[in-house]
Structure 1
Amino acid sequence: MVSSAEQRRPVVVLYERIVDAIHAGTYPPGSTLPSEPKLAAELGVSRPALREALLLLQEDGLLSVRRGVGRTVADRPPRRGFEHIQPLEELIGAGAPVRVRALLRAVEEPTDFTTQHLLAAARARLRFWESLLVGDGTAAALSQEWAAAEDVLAGAHPGFARALEAVAAGPDAAAARTSMLAVLVSSSRGVPLSAHSSVTATLVGQRRGEQLGRPADTPAVLITQVVRAGDTPVLAAKHMLPTGAAALPVLQSN
């Protein structure tokens, strides 16, 4: 039996081929794509697979549909890379499923980190989630995520605020099995998101080593991520991936 992941793989590959063509200038920003039959012939693929890939490209903001014109490439196609804004558990769980295990769900005052990255006011109250990402029984990453204050979210992304409230008010198990970034992504249809990440090499340290089940001197990669709705930062996170964790795929293009 062919798994659903294997069935979808050709569509994902086709999606990437079209993205590559957009960034290479074959289908430049603002241009109209050829008709479905012509494009399918050019790419040597079936029309059903092409149609599914085109729908995914529309959802990701690379294409738009104009009545009487057809599918048009966005004037400013989103940049490719880790900034696909995909939950970390999905990124590193491509090879094997990764589960989110809640360590802490709390509300706290701003720290130096959240003051800098979320521009949080001194007395703001911020949701804080600390989670362990586990795959094959082994800790793959430790995530710390903060959401902007409720009054900020009310203006910049009320859907995210409502989704966080719904998760917090639901069964404890619901919040324990999801990341804050997953909640943000699922509540952001139609909301323009952008993100920036920085990557540094470090050691896990004593406390994080205990959480990850690794010695304190274990080398690790620390990813700092900030996600914005429009111009407003709505989520800031730190993700620590120790040596031996699942690979984090990073797409690059010029």
Structure 2
Amino acid sequence: MSLESVPPKYAQLVQNLQRRIESGQYAPGSTLPSENELMKEFAVSRPTVVAALRILKDQGWIDSQQGKGRFVLGRPALASFEGSRPGRAYLTTAETATEGEIVESAVVAAPNRLAALLGVEPKTRVFLRRRLISRDGEPTEIVSVWVPLELSEGTDLTSAAPLPEGIRSHLESRKGVRFDHVVEQVTARMPTTAEAKQLGMPKGVPLLVVYGAVRDASGRPLTAVEVLLPADRHELEDAYPIG
């Protein structure tokens, strides 16, 4: 196996803990090892452990209680159904919960595809907030959130500091909008020179690109998300019931 195909450490930790839960080593109702214990056993950093535990909680494998620790719930039905939605994850997770830096925060002309997702004319001026996400000190993805100008006004999206809450919570509290659903599209393309440099990608490796159109209950576009994932470090999984 080449080094490029090895999953990030947080993903490996998620898989290891899931296997232990499924095997019964961590039985439902039992207390999960502490962050320090997991760091020592798996020789990983605290941000890696925190990221893995957040994913397990979001997917329903574990729960946490203030002052009491984390408890095993067991294998949830369709565990990957909610946790495998990249667009949703980046909208609901606080920016301070992940490593990363703001690489762009500006008013820009909307590219054709993003304009279509936002329901505006191409080249319409919109606000762009772009983050370079890292895991274990290595860049792993680029997340861009595109917001109509009127929705970005009076918010902290222009700040160079990471938000202590998810973009969804921030916009809903500041602007009074209500996110209802996300329509995701997945495609692939080769990275630009700048993208390949930012992500440290070797030549010949494509990007998986996830586009998410965020809408309210009436179907009105509110924001759009673009997630760039190097194909040699990520895989997308889905699960759904058979009716």
TM-score by length of 2: 0.56
Tell me, yes or no, if structure 1 residue 183 matches structure 2 residue 167. Answer: yes
Q: How many residues align?
A: 175
Tell me, yes or no, if structure 1 residue 167 matches structure 2 residue 156. Answer: yes
Change (3 A) 1:89 1:249: farther
- Deviation of the 1:130 alpha carbon: 1.9
Of residues 190, 193, 204 in structure 2, which corresponds to 1:206? 193
1:116 alignment partner, SS class: helix
Give the aligned partner of residue 129 of structure 2. 129
Larger Rg: 1
1: CA distance between counterparts of 2:74 and 2:178?
Answer: 25
1:196 alignment partner, SS class: strand
1:86 alignment partner, SS class: helix
Map Cα deviations across residues 143-170 of structure 1 (whole Å, 9 max, x no partner): 22211231xx4xxxxxxx46xx331465
- Deviation of the 1:98 alpha carbon: 3.5
- Deviation of the 1:15 alpha carbon: 9.4
Give the aligned partner of residue 143 of structure 1. 143
Question: Is the CA contact 2:142–2:227 (under 8 Å) kept in the aligned structure 1?
Answer: yes
Change (3 A) 1:135 1:123: closer
Question: Is the CA contact 2:115–2:123 (under 8 Å) kept in the aligned structure 1?
Answer: no
Question: Is the CA contact 1:126–1:147 (under 8 Å) kept in the aligned structure 2?
Answer: yes
Give the aligned partner of residue 241 of structure 1. 229
Of residues 75, 85, 88 in structure 1, which corresponds to 2:88? 85
Give the aligned partner of residue 43 of structure 2. none
- Deviation of the 1:207 alpha carbon: 2.2
Question: Where do 5+ consecutive residues of structure 1 fail to align?
Answer: 21-78, 154-160
Map Cα deviations across residues 161-190 of structure 1 (whole Å, 9 max, x no partner): 46xx331465x32xxx249x9312444479
1: CA distance between counterparts of 2:127 and 2:93?
Answer: 22
What is the root-mean-square deviation of aligned Cα atoms in Å? 3.9
Give the aligned partner of residue 226 of structure 1. 213
Amino acid at match of 1:182: G
Change (3 A) 1:168 1:186: closer
Map Cα deviations across residues 190-222 of structure 1 (whole Å, 9 max, x no partner): 934200111123322322101212134223211
2:119 alignment partner, SS class: coil
2: CA distance between counterparts of 1:208 and 1:201?
Answer: 14
Question: Where do 5+ consecutive residues of structure 2 fail to align?
Answer: 1-32, 36-49, 64-71
Amino acid at match of 1:196: V
Question: Is the CA contact 1:82–1:251 (under 8 Å) kept in the aligned structure 2?
Answer: no
1: CA distance between counterparts of 2:107 and 2:87?
Answer: 28
1: CA distance between counterparts of 2:75 and 2:106?
Answer: 39
1: CA distance between counterparts of 2:136 and 2:215?
Answer: 32
